[in-house]
């Protein structure tokens, strides 16, 4: 069991604070395991079993609790008097009207409440309205490359070989246990994908034409890292003989991002310091998922490593946008309270012309924020190009 230390520390730091802890992320990214790790920590700290209430609303054992009134009654009856009770409700979106139960439990004394969900919709509706300012989110992703390497310790593979497996098979914790047995991995990823598509997208959004939804999924998966508009997707599907409106495409895309299959990076005008409304880019939550959806001929190492960098920047707590600098594009503008860092990502810049092309957008930026070029090259790594640092991607991914 991988510790997932960054996420675990967030829960530990918020322990017994008067806020609800909401753990979100794509299905099978490790939310339930994180809660179990935290429960283990609490027990090591002296918390007794009767102080812990743990409910998984995908388990048939708790099917009766899918009614919010019954859920609230069950938990209320098991609270420990005069001591903190730690309440864990997994996949809470399965309980219709769960917001009312959560709101009522929140106001009870000495209740430390933790909930998980596989759909961002839960934070955009009534829960957000009821609990504005009273909850924090822990946004989980599948394994980072560093976590993946910890999981694979003892396999006698080099860092580069592990990275190739990470790109090919993906980063779901559930998948990492299969020791690169391709047949089992393909079946497992297909199962995860089907579960997400049917439970977290089609069922929740009332989508009956799943084949049409899958067409959109595959189109976006092919075009990760490329500018995409809803009209472009609509035109593509209509040209294949299906009829779909721009509004419907927009609705499907929102459902796919709500379920964390895809993440959207907006374009940002670096000089004008404002977000642009058109031609954002989409990145997929797991490269193994993309490889399952597409043939190997459609894989592109440049866009795959760009996808890896995007997700890693999210893990490190950045807000990530695509940079526009005059007529040039910067792969990522990563911002937090300390400012911005500008990133270009390329498979290789050994060729001099390629190096100059990748450096050109960064050289146009006149401010003093860090500028970094990430590549798979070992030759030339750690160079400084007029203030722009060139760093080996694998080394960067293994950083603290």
What would the pLDDT profile of 197-239 be if each residue is shown by its tens digit? 998 899 888 899 999 999 999 999 999 999 999 999 999 999 9
Whether pLDDT at 308 is above 80: yes
| Whether the predicted pLDDT of 1 surpasses 80 | no
Residues 219 and 76 in one domain: no
The answer on 173 and 130 residing in a single domain is no
Residue 109, pLDDT > 90, answer yes
Kindly state whether residues 357 and 216 are assigned to the same domain.
yes
d(CA 216, CA 222) in angstroms, rounded, equals 10
Which tokens go with 291?
Answer: 């490889």
Q: Are residues 277 and 384 in the same domain?
A: yes
Confidence of residue 272 (pLDDT cuts 50, 70, 90): confident
Averaged pLDDT of the chain: 92
Q: What pLDDT score does 125 carry?
A: 64
pLDDT for the residue numbered 400? 77
Residue 126 has pLDDT above 80, yes or no: no
Residue 251 confidence (pLDDT) above 60: yes
| pLDDT for position 267 | 93
One domain, residues 367 and 219: yes
Same domain, 123 and 168: no
44 CB-near residues (< 8 Å, 6+ apart):
none
Percent of the chain with pLDDT over 70: 97
Beta-strand relationship, 328-336 and 319-325: antiparallel
Region 22-43: what's the mean pLDDT? 95
pLDDT tier, 298 (very low <50, low <70, confident <90, very high otherwise): low
Number of domains in the chain: 2
For range 27-53, the mean pLDDT: 96
Residue where a domain terminates, one of 101, 123, 139? 139
Q: Is 135 in the same domain as 169?
A: no
User: For 50-77, what is the mean pLDDT?
Assistant: 96
Residues 187, 271 within the same domain:
yes
Mean pLDDT, to the nearest integer, of 85-100? 92
CATH number of the CATH domain containing 41: 3.40.50.300
The end-to-end CA distance of the chain, in Å, is 20
| pLDDT over 80 at 154, yes or no | no
251 vs 277, residue with greater confidence:
251
Looking at 139, 163, 189, the residue that finishes a domain is 139
| Among the ranges given (12-26, 84-98, 288-302, 381-395), the one the predictor scored with the smallest mean pLDDT | 288-302
Query: Is the predicted pLDDT of residue 322 greater than 80, yes or no?
Result: yes
In the prediction, which pLDDT does 40 show? 96
For residues 295 and 170, state if they share a domain: yes
Same domain, 133 and 190: no
Q: What is the pTM of this model?
A: 0.94
Chain Cα centroid distance, residue 177: 20
Check whether residue 156 and residue 212 sit in a common domain: yes
CA torsion through residues 171, 332, 259, 127, sign: positive
Q: Which of 14-28, 61-75, 149-163, 285-299 has the lowest mean pLDDT?
A: 285-299
Q: Are 86 and 48 in contact (CB under 8 A)?
A: no
Question: Which pLDDT belongs to residue 325?
Answer: 84
Q: Which domain holds residue 288?
A: 145-397
Residue 296 is predicted with a pLDDT of 59
Residue 123 confidence (pLDDT) above 80: no
Map tokens 């940079």 to a residue. 323
Q: How would DSSP label each residue in 296-315?
A: GGG--HHHHHHHHHHHHHHH
CB atoms within 10 A of CB 165: 19
Residue 310: what pLDDT?
A: 98
295 and 189 part of one domain: yes
Domain end marker among 104, 139, 174:
139
Pairing of β 339-346 and β 371-375: parallel
d(CA 135, CA 151): 31
Look at residue 180 in the predicted model and tell me its pLDDT: 64
pLDDT at 175: 84
Average pLDDT over residues 294-312: 85
Nearest-angstrom CA–CA distance, 234 and 250: 9
């Amino acid at each position: 069991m991988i510790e997932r230390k960054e996420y675990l520390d967030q829960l530990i730091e918020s322990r017994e604070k008067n806020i609800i802890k909401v753990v979100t992320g794509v299905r099978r990214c490790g939310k339930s395991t994180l809660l179990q790790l935290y429960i283990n920590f609490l027990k090591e700290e002296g918390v007794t079993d009767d102080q812990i209430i743990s409910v998984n609303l995908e388990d048939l054992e708790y099917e009766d609790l899918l009614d919010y009134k019954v859920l609230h009654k069950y938990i209320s009856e098991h609270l420990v008097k005069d001591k903190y009770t730690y309440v864990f409700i997994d996949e809470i979106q399965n309980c219709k009207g769960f917001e009312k139960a959560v709101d009522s439990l929140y106001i009870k004394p000495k209740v430390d409440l933790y909930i998980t969900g596989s759909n961002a919709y839960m934070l955009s509706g009534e829960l957000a309205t009821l609990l504005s300012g009273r909850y924090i989110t822990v946004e989980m992703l599948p394994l980072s490359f560093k976590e993946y390497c910890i999981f694979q310790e003892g396999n006698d593979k080099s860092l580069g070989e592990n990275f190739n497996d990470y790109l090919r098979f993906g980063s779901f914790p559930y998948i990492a246990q299969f020791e690169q047995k391709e047949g089992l991995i393909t079946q497992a990823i297909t199962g995860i994908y089907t579960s997400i598509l049917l439970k977290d997208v089609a069922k929740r959004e009332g989508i009956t034409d799943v084949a049409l939804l899958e067409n959109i999924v595959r189109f976006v998966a092919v075009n990760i890292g490329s500018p995409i508009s809803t009209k472009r997707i609509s035109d593509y599907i209509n040209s294949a003989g299906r009829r779909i409106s721009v509004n419907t495409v927009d609705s499907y895309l929102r459902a796919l991002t709500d379920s964390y299959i895809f993440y959207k990076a907006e374009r940002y005008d670096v000089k004008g310091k404002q977000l642009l409304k058109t031609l954002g880019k989409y990145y997929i939550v797991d490269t193994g998922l993309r490889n399952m959806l597409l043939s190997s001929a459609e894989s592109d190492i440049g866009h795959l490593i760009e996808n890896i960098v995007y997700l890693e920047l999210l893990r490190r707590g950045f807000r990530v946008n695509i940079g526009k600098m005059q007529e040039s594009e910067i792969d990522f503008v990563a911002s937090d309270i300390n400012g911005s860092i500008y990133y270009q990502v390329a498979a290789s810049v050994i060729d001099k012309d390629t190096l100059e092309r990748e450096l050109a957008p960064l050289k146009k930026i006149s401010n003093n924020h860090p500028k970094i070029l990430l590549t798979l090259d070992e030759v030339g790594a750690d160079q400084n190009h007029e203030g722009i640092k060139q760093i080996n991607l694998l080394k960067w991914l293994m950083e603290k």
